Amino acid sequence: MPRTKALPIKLSSRTEQLLQQIVRGTTNPYRLVRRAKLILGAASGESNSSISRRLELDREQVALWRGRWKEQSEKLVTAEEEQVTDKKLMALIEEILSDQPRAGTTKSFTVEQVVQIVAIACESPDSSERPVSHWTPKELALEAIKRGIVENISPRSVGRFLK
Has residue 124 got a pLDDT over 80?
yes
Quickly state the pLDDT bin for 131 (edges 50, 70, 90): confident
How much is the average pLDDT of 117-143?
A: 89
Quickly state the pLDDT bin for 145 (edges 50, 70, 90): very high
Q: How far apart are CA 142 and CA 146, in angstroms?
A: 6
pLDDT digits (tens, 9 = 90+) for 46-101: 999 999 999 999 999 999 999 999 998 889 889 888 888 899 999 999 999 998 87
pLDDT of residue 79: 87
pLDDT of residue 2: 54
Average pLDDT, the chain: 89
Q: Which residue in 162, 85, 56 sits closest to 117, CA to CA?
A: 162
HEC string for 32-84: HHHHHHHHHHHHCCCCHHHHHHHHCCCHHHHHHHHHHHHHHHHHHHHHHHCCC
Name the residue ranges covered by the structural domains of the chain. Answer: 13-96, 111-162
pLDDT of residue 4: 66
pLDDT digits (tens, 9 = 90+) for 31-55: 999 999 999 999 999 999 999 999 9
Return the number of other C-beta atoms located less than 10 Å from residue 104's C-beta: 6
